[in-house]
């Protein structure tokens, strides 16, 4: 197999809560009237990590999160947190708190009262509550707004109140449901890092759900990519990006050129592929699990491609075509190059110079090339 993925299944039930497997999701399945929303998902989540469930709508990520929070009961499987089985506990008895999508702050309570809600529920003394609320307000830097009502706060402030409220009880597990969903783009990137800092300060283990790959990559230490109730791949952000496990993972994260190809020569140290779209063969500088004649996909990220007017010297890993479209992003441009076969390749070009005089333009004949280990062979 081409991809190096972490094992996403087969976790024998071990007693006690070791740090590497602080939260264990064991074969969890959730059906709604015959529709399978979550399909036998198994995951181990380490203590203190920020773990992202990434997927589109209907991927089952939110259902899985609701199973963790206790709002849904798994049809099958176990959820074990710190050695304790959660399945039969109602949400109000779980040591798990959630920051809801669009926050669900109590509109009739002040910031302080919102944060104190869970503490009051625990029957803490007034002094203890006041002290803890004070700590929380300091953690999210909202001390001045303690007496405000939620509707008097900006989106970013509301988010920090919601975070403080969900951290106030010192949960063993923090759940974030689309944490940035209600914020505008500019605020989003700032709050992502701020949120991560606060979560890391508090040291809580965190599972977040998002449909935004950038958000997952920025915030999470590890990502589980979900589709149609299945885990497609689990890994660190760079692993998922650079070593996608399959076509879905490659296409979901970032942009990619996916070329149909056939294994031509399968050697232990290298592989060559033949792609009908390219004239030159594809040379991969490492062995893969496959057989000669097998149909595969070759995934190539646009930023891995070189683009220029001169033909590269290498006999393989190159293609010639004409520039059909240019998408200008400021920091870089994406060239859409049409090959003689009709196949279109995207190539990124970093705009290092201002007003480059020799800039490529529409209709130019160009060569594209890539290094031996820049692409990924996908067998599924």
Partner 1 sequence: MNARALKRFVPSGRWAVIAVPFLWLLLFFAIPFLIVLKISFSRLAIAMPPYTPIVEVVDKALTLRLNLGNYAALFTDSQYILAYLSSIKIAAVSTLLCLAIGYPMAYFIARMKPSTRNIALMAVVLPSWISFLLRVYAWVGILDANGLLNRFLLWTGLVDAPLRILYTPLAAYIGIVYCYLPFMVLPLYANLAKLDLRLLEAAYDLGAKPWQAFLRITLPLSRSGIIAGCMLVMIPAVGEFVIPEMLGGPDTLMIGRVLWGEFFNNRDWPAASAVAIVMLLLLLVPILVFNRYQHKEMEGRLT
For binding to partner 1 (CB under 8 A), which residues are involved?
A: 69-71, 90-93, 96-98, 100, 102, 104-108, 117-118, 121-122, 149, 151-152, 165-166, 169
Q: 116: which residues sit within 8 A by CB, 6+ positions away?
A: 129, 132, 133, 168
Instruction: Give 22's DSSP letter.
Output: S
Give the whole-angstrom CA distance, residue 30 versus residue 229: 9
Question: In terms of CB distance, is 36 or 182 closer to partner 1?
Answer: 182
Q: How far is the CB of 86 from partner 1 (least distance, A)?
A: 13
Q: How far is the CB of 364 from partner 1 (least distance, A)?
A: 54
CA dist 367 → 276, 280, 311, 316, 331 (Å): 17, 12, 6, 12, 22
Using DSSP's 3-state secondary structure scheme, residue 248 falls into: helix
Other CB atoms within a 10 A radius of the CB of residue 379 amount to: 18
Instruction: Give me the phi and psi of 356, to 5 degrees please.
Output: -60, 130
Q: How far is the CB of 124 from partner 1 (least distance, A)?
A: 11
In the structure encoding, which two tokens stand for residue 320, read together? Answer: 């010639």
Instruction: Give me the phi and psi of 248, to 5 degrees please.
Output: -60, -50
Give the whole-angstrom CA distance, residue 166 versus residue 118: 8
Question: In terms of CB distance, is 55 or 70 closer to partner 1?
Answer: 70
Strands 205-210 and 173-177: parallel
Give the whole-angstrom CA distance, residue 79 versus residue 38: 13
Question: In terms of CB distance, is 165 or 222 closer to partner 1?
Answer: 165
Question: In terms of CB distance, is 91 or 312 closer to partner 1?
Answer: 91
Q: How far is the CB of 60 from partner 1 (least distance, A)?
A: 19
Other CB atoms within a 10 A radius of the CB of residue 245 amount to: 26
Q: How far is the CB of 50 from partner 1 (least distance, A)?
A: 19
Question: In terms of CB distance, is 118 or 237 closer to partner 1?
Answer: 118
Q: How far is the CB of 65 from partner 1 (least distance, A)?
A: 12
Q: How far is the CB of 375 from partner 1 (least distance, A)?
A: 45
Question: In terms of CB distance, is 89 or 277 closer to partner 1?
Answer: 89
Element (H, E) at 54: strand 50-55
Question: In terms of CB distance, is 174 or 261 closer to partner 1?
Answer: 174
Q: How far is the CB of 143 from partner 1 (least distance, A)?
A: 21
Strands 84-85 and 76-81: antiparallel
Question: In terms of CB distance, is 69 or 296 closer to partner 1?
Answer: 69
Other CB atoms within a 10 A radius of the CB of residue 40 amount to: 15
């Amino acid at each position: 197999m081409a991809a190096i993925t972490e094992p996403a299944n087969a976790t024998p039930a071990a007693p006690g809560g070791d740090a590497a497997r602080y939260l264990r999701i064991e074969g969890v399945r959730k059906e709604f009237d015959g529709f399978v929303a979550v399909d036998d998902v198994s995951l181990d989540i380490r203590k203190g990590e920020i773990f992202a469930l990434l997927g589109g709508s209907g991927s089952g990520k939110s259902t899985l999160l609701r199973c963790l929070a206790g709002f849904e009961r798994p049809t099958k499987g176990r959820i074990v947190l710190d050695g304790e089985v959660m399945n039969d506990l109602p949400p109000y008895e779980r040591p798990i708190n959630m920051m809801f999508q669009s926050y669900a702050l109590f509109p009739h309570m002040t910031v302080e009262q919102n944060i104190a809600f869970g503490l009051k529920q625990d029957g803490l003394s007034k002094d203890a509550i006041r002290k803890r609320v004070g700590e929380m307000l300091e953690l999210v830097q909202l001390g001045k707004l303690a007496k405000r009502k939620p509707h008097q706060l900006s989106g970013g402030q509301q988010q920090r109140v919601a975070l403080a409220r969900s951290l106030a009880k010192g949960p063993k597990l923090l759940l974030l449901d689309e944490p940035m969903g209600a914020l505008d783009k500019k605020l989003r990137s700032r709050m992502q890092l701020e949120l991560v800092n606060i979560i890391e300060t508090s040291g809580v283990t965190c599972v977040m759900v998002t449909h935004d790959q950038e958000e997952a990559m920025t915030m999470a230490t590890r990502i589980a990519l979900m589709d149609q109730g299945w885990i497609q791949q689990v890994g660190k952000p760079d692993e998922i990006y650079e070593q996608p496990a399959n076509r879905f993972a490659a296409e979901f994260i970032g942009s990619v050129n996916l070329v149909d190809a056939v294994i031509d020569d399968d050697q232990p140290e290298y592989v060559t592929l033949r792609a009908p779209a390219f004239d030159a063969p594809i040379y991969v500088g490492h062995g893969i699990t496959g057989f000669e004649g097998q149909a595969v996909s070759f995934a190539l990220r646009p930023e891995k491609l070189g683009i220029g007017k001169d033909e590269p010297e290498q006999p393989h890993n190159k293609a010639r075509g004409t520039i059909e479209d240019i998408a200008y992003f400021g920091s870089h441009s994406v060239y859409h190059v049409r090959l003689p076969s009709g196949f279109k390749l995207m190539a990124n070009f970093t705009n290092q110079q201002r007003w480059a005089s020799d800039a490529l333009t529409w209709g130019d004949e160009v060569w594209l090339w890539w290094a031996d280990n820049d692409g990924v062979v996908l067998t599924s």
